[in-house]
Structure 1
Amino acid sequence: MDRGISKGSIGVILATSALAAAITASQTHKIEKKIGEKVIITLFPIIISICIWGVALSKYYCIFFIVINTIDSIVFVAVGDYINKLIPSEKRATILSMASMIFSLYMIVLFPIVGKIADEFSLQIAFQVLAMVATIMAAINIMVLRHKRKIDK
């Protein structure tokens, strides 16, 4: 790897990240009560994109990686709960299937591209590309939510 991290160290980082994400995900409802659903759905994707930039550009990339997975676990639970509240049960399975299909398509397209960038250039450049994509997606998320608020008013 570019930064000289051993496979064992990567394993420790991934295990720590998974443990932090599991603990935080189990506390999502408490977190949501304190800061609100809107903050989680609007602000947390921005924080994730900033943290991806941190992985790409900072010497503290391990910490940023753990923060990304921790926040992502909160967003995953909160958005799932939000979808379940928002969508009538008779349409929920169809919409969740579509969301899963879109995510799978995203992975099928993006992961090989990022892998190729890492092989051809560097892992740091690959993370910079991911950070750009995450920043664009966070901006789109904000625009969609603002548009939805205008419609709801």
Structure 2
Amino acid sequence: MLAVAFSAVLIATTPASAHSTNDWVKTTQGAPAGWAHRTAKSYVGGVQQETDIYWQDNGEVWVQSRVWDRSTDGYCATVQIRYEISESPGQWAGHWHYRPVGGALDCALGESIPQYSANWMARYPTRKVAARACHADPKGEIVECEGTWH
């Protein structure tokens, strides 16, 4: 019944790219002052997410997500990002990479405060970062995500 209720707004998660990469590094650095930024927000299927994305024209990117579990559906709430990297100067990968935002996992319904991810910096020049709300199991494995990227 749950699947039917959310089928209009949630879809099965898209797998990561064919090759495994370690695209992000955890950092204690806060949001970079003076960088361009936006906040990707969505609320769907009992999951509310807000992802702060900061970037520079040279491909440096910093992200942090917040997530709330607003439903008693038995799932946890998490965030997935999509982006493109350049492993060599001027050569973009030509395909998307997909990753959950590490640390942004909320399994406790009813809390008014969100669960925050770690702060993450891209290891490679990165562009076109977008985020979406997802259901996950208690281990953080994504079960399904909304179809819209923000």
TM (norm. structure 1) is 0.24
Larger Rg belongs to: 1
TM-score, length basis structure 2: 0.24
Structure in which a larger fraction of residues adopt strand: 2
